């Protein structure tokens, strides 16, 4: 059973505001990207970036803390790091 401090930390992680951005890739496709906690059913813990457009969805688990500040081109490149 997790210690009380571990439960508080997990609750804080779930309460964090999920940032979202919209960007356009080099082909003119509009993408949305959001930072999200892993599903409770996922054995891994942490957060990931979810990218989605009309034609695809991608998840990136290893990304920089400043992802929200990246240029559109940098975000498009990061979306392929799956």
pLDDT for 11 equals: 43
State the residue range of the domain holding 52: 4-79
Instruction: State the pLDDT confidence band at 39, using cuts at 50, 70 and 90.
Output: confident
* 51 bridge partner residues: 33, 58
Q: Does this model's pTM top 0.85? A: no
Q: Which of 12-16, 21-25, 36-40 has the highest mean pLDDT?
A: 21-25
Average pLDDT (53-61) is 95
Range 11-39 burial, b when 16+ CB lie within 10 A, else e: eeeeeeeeeebebebeeeeebebebebee
Average pLDDT, the chain: 82
Count of domains for the chain: 1
């Amino acid at each position: 059973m997790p210690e009380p401090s571990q439960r508080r930390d997990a609750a804080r992680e779930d309460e964090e505001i999920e940032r979202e951005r919209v960007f356009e890739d080099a082909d003119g496709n509009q993408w949305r990207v959001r930072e999200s906690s892993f599903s409770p059913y996922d054995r891994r813990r942490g957060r990931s970036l979810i990218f989605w457009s009309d034609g695809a969805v991608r998840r990136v688990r290893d990304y920089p803390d400043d992802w929200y500040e990246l240029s559109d081109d940098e975000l498009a490149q990061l979306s392929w790091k799956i």
